[in-house]
Amino acid sequence: MTAEKAILTLGDKKIELPVIRGTEGDVAVDVSRLYEEHRILTYDPSLGSTAVCQSKITFINGEEGILRYRGIPIEQFVTKTPNFIEVAYLLIKEKLPTMTELLEFRTLLENNELLHENLRYQFRNIPAGAPPMAQLSAMLSNLACFHRDLLVLDNDEEFLQVAARLISKIRTIAASSYRRSKGLPYIYPDPNLRYCANFLHMMFSIPYKQYEISPAVEDALNLILILHADHEQNCSTATVRTVGSARANLFASCAAGVSALWGPLHGGANVEVMEMLKGIHDGGLSPEDCIRMAKDKQNPFRLFGFGHRIYKNYDPRAKILRDASDKVFSQLKMKERDPLLDIARKLEELALKDPYFVERKLYPNVDFYSGILLRAMHIPTNMFTVMFAIGRLPGWIAQWKELHDTPNSKIMRPRQIYVGTPKTDYIPREKR
Ligand code: CMC
């Protein structure tokens, strides 16, 4: 069988390019040797039409709103309720764990949940009110100072050790950054608690008074973390891969991922959504104002929690969270329904019938409803993106590992088209 080719015609030149097809029908023209062999660049500034790797981790079909982890549809992680740890294992170890493997993994996380006391003391020097995302990125990077033996990974066992340290300690760091921002004492992890419950304990217990963990809150957190666990080559994951491509260690690569995630167009959108909903609730804005502002090209305002580079349909994660919100509110036995949920529903209703959003295929994304659930769990707004990071960490780790294991993988080094001043002479200072 002859290999499939695409033909690029440029002037009188015809260039044959290999074609790659993914298992779900994605088609890509392989231009990786185009520059080397023909001195031609491809131009795709935000990589919207460029596949930077072949991956076996996550599949998304944005037109149909499909998301699968290692082939399993995201909806099955809701109906069959695995825990986040199981999903993390699936992503990083490429298979669902047996009961024994799951218990071993849980024990490994348990054994790594404490922070080195010297690392913990570093929180003292961070000013109260410091953004938790800044603390998270700094502290993940700092872990490299305390695990210097794991900066270069020689085998899968060492990789698993670093993965476990990161997945376990990120909770402890995240909760500590919140405690620090509130001037509250640090709470040690409790090895008897499950992953999500342990995080809630570190966030909300006080010395000598254990926080009472509601199963509804624990379940909702588990769901949120699972839904964020991976999302193929998004901005933060692409960052982790880029940093990792220089053979930077896993701690540094994940810390870089946190920084990328912080941006309001990416993970930081969940904070923006909350500010927007509160703004409407407090009377500064109406849902109609928001829609008008979002459509106004002279106004930088965007309808946060709407739109997605890949999804041109309802983000399946948003659908799950929207449907879960009513259930969670009733399970939490909240005296009254959060008025912000009604505002979100109204915004959604207006946007989904507005030609601006319809024509551009802008639908709610994962950040639209996640904040309302986090708020119901008393997670403060400045921790929303941190929660996203805790969820996304297994995805970053799995993607870094996949890159690490790719034979002959090269450093990421995009090209550019120079459009600046042609060669010119230096002008001495006194003559300028
Ligand atoms: N509100 C108003 N207009 C929008 C929005 C929005 N939320 N999103 C996209 N548009 C418009 C945009 O102005 C553009 O219009 P035109 O064609 O007239 O120039 C068109 O829709 C296409 O948008 P784009 O910015 O070219 O699309 P993109 O793929 O580069 O950006 C996005 C994707 C998610 C950054 C963008 O939709 C956005 O800024 N949304 C709001 C921020 C947000 O919710 N981010 C969370 C993303 S999901 C979770 C995650 O991955 O972090």
Tell me the per-residue pLDDT of 116-126, one tens digit each, with 9 for 90 and over: 999 999 888 88
- Centre a 10 Å sphere on the Cβ of residue 229 and count the other Cβ atoms it contains: 24
Query: What is the rounded CA–CA span in Å between residue 350 and residue 364?
Result: 12
Per-residue model confidence (pLDDT) at position 129: 84
Q: Atom 29 in ligand 1: which residue has the minimum CA distance? A: 309
- When pLDDT is cut at 50, 70 and 90, the band that residue 127 belongs to is confident
Q: Is 308 in the pocket of ligand 1 (CB under 6 A)?
A: yes
Instruction: Check pLDDT > 90 for residue 161.
Output: yes
Instruction: Please give the pLDDT value at position 271.
Output: 97
Mean pLDDT of the chain: 94
In percent, how much of the chain has pLDDT > 70? 99
Average pLDDT over residues 164-193: 94
> Which amino acid is present at 85?
I
CB 188 within 8 A of CB 115: no
**Token pair for 328:** 């969670």
Report residue 6: phi and psi, to 5°: -115, 150
Please state, in angstroms and as integers, the Cα–Cα distance from residue 76 to each residue in 71, 80, 221, 293, following that order. Answer: 11, 6, 17, 38
State the Cα–Cα distance between residues 198 and 188, nearest whole angstrom.
9
What is the band of 1 on the pLDDT scale with cuts at 50, 70, 90? low
Query: Ligand 1 centroid to 362 CA: how many Å?
Result: 8
Place 333 in a pLDDT band, splitting at 50, 70 and 90: low
**What is residue 381's three-state secondary structure?**
helix
| Residue 46 Cα to ligand 1 middle (Å) | 13
pLDDT band at 67 (very low <50, low <70, confident <90, very high): very high
Report how far ligand 1's centroid is from the alpha carbon of 55 (Å).
Answer: 25
Q: Take atom 49 of ligand 1 and give the residue whose Cα is closest.
A: 266
How many Cα atoms within 13 Å fall on the side-chain side of residue 26? 18
The reply to whether ligand 1 has any atom less than 6 angstroms from the CB of 306 is yes
Query: Poorest-confidence range of 158-167, 310-319, 334-343, 377-386?
Result: 334-343
- Ligand 1 site, residue 271, Cβ cutoff 6 A: no
Buried-exposed string 396-425: b where 16+ CB fall within 10 A, e elsewhere: bbbbbbbbbeeeeeeebeeeeeeeeeeeee
Q: Which residues contact 351 (CB under 8 A, 6 or more apart)?
A: 291, 294, 303, 306, 357, 362
Which tokens belong to 101?
């493997």
pTM of the prediction?
Answer: 0.96
**Active site amino acids:** 308, 367
Index of the ligand 1 atom closest to the CA of residue 315:
48
- pLDDT over threshold 90, residue 227: yes
| Greatest extent of the chain over all pairs of C-alpha atoms, in Å | 80
pLDDT value of position 41: 97
Give residue 265 CA to ligand 1 midpoint distance, Å: 8
- CA-nearest residue for atom 22, ligand 1, is 360
For residue 107 the two structure tokens come to 């024990």
User: pLDDT band for position 335 (50/70/90)?
Assistant: low
Res 128: pLDDT = 82
pLDDT tens track for 343-371: 999 999 999 999 999 999 999 999 999 99
DSSP SS3 for 28: strand
Angstrom distances, CA of residue 325 to CA of 184, 319, 379, 397: 30, 10, 15, 29
Give me the pLDDT at residue 126, please: 87
Please work out whether the CB of residue 402 comes within 6 Å of at least one atom of ligand 1. no
Shortest-distance Cα residue to atom 45 of ligand 1: 265
Query: Cβ–Cβ contacts within 10 Å for residue 52, how many?
Result: 14
Task: Give me the percent of the chain exceeding a pLDDT of 90.
Answer: 86
- Across residues 134-139, what is the average pLDDT? 95
Candidate of 362, 368, 370, 388 to mutate for ligand 1, largest count of ligand atoms within 8 Å of Cβ: 362
Regarding the beta carbon of 303 and ligand 1, being less than 6 Å apart is answered yes
Q: CA–CA separation, 257 vs 292, rounded Å?
A: 33
**pLDDT tens for residues 4-38?**
999 999 999 999 999 999 999 999 999 999 999 99
